[in-house]
Amino acid sequence: MVTHVSAEVRGDERGALLAFIEEQRGGIRRSVLGLTEEQARSRPSASELSLGGLLKHAAEVEQMWLARARQEAPPVRRDQSNWHESFELVGEETVASQLAHWERVAAETEKFIRSAPSLDDTFPLPPDPWFPPEGRVSLRWLCLHLIRETARHAGHADIVRESLDGKTAFELVALERVRG
């Protein structure tokens, strides 16, 4: 753990879940601190991942899951033909534009989770072969999934950033505080 997530107010499960999602978002956001666009687009490790691509992907995935929970069509459609674009900055996309986009998505997620009648409320999973037929998940599951998904990619971002310039997560936390 690089940063500390404060204990929730007694009984504030939503607040606790949202705080852990935000903590993991911070790991990815910090990974691009002080980088040029060229550095953020580079792939310095054996992986095809770039920090800009990880940033974009995490924001896009959160937005997609929020749309599913609202039972709306996702704003960006991905299939085999364009899946790779969810992991790279394309066209006029920049780190700054992706950070701003994710900030809006995060605010929507928080508003949606805080306003839901219950974390036990469910929504249907899509009919993809990797989901159970007629599967449903709760908003609690959604929050836990976003924690897991974002944490996984925050770990990737740690490795890519360290491969890029040697900076570790601890150094990036310190840099963020100085810039704060």
User: 3-state SS string over 16-63?
Assistant: HHHHHHHHHHHHHHHHCCCCCHHHHHCCCCCCCCCHHHHHHHHHHHHH
pLDDT score for 2: 66
Q: Residue 121's domain is classified under what CATH number?
A: 1.20.120.450
Mean pLDDT split into 10-residue runs, the chain, 180 residues: 71 92 96 96 91 97 97 88 87 96 98 98 92 94 98 96 93 88
| Range of the structural domain that residue 55 is part of | 13-179
Is residue 7 included in any domain, yes or no? no
Residue 114 is inside which H or E element, if any?
A: helix 95-115
Is residue 4 included in any domain, yes or no? no
Is residue 8 included in any domain, yes or no? no
What is the tally of structural domains in the chain?
Answer: 1
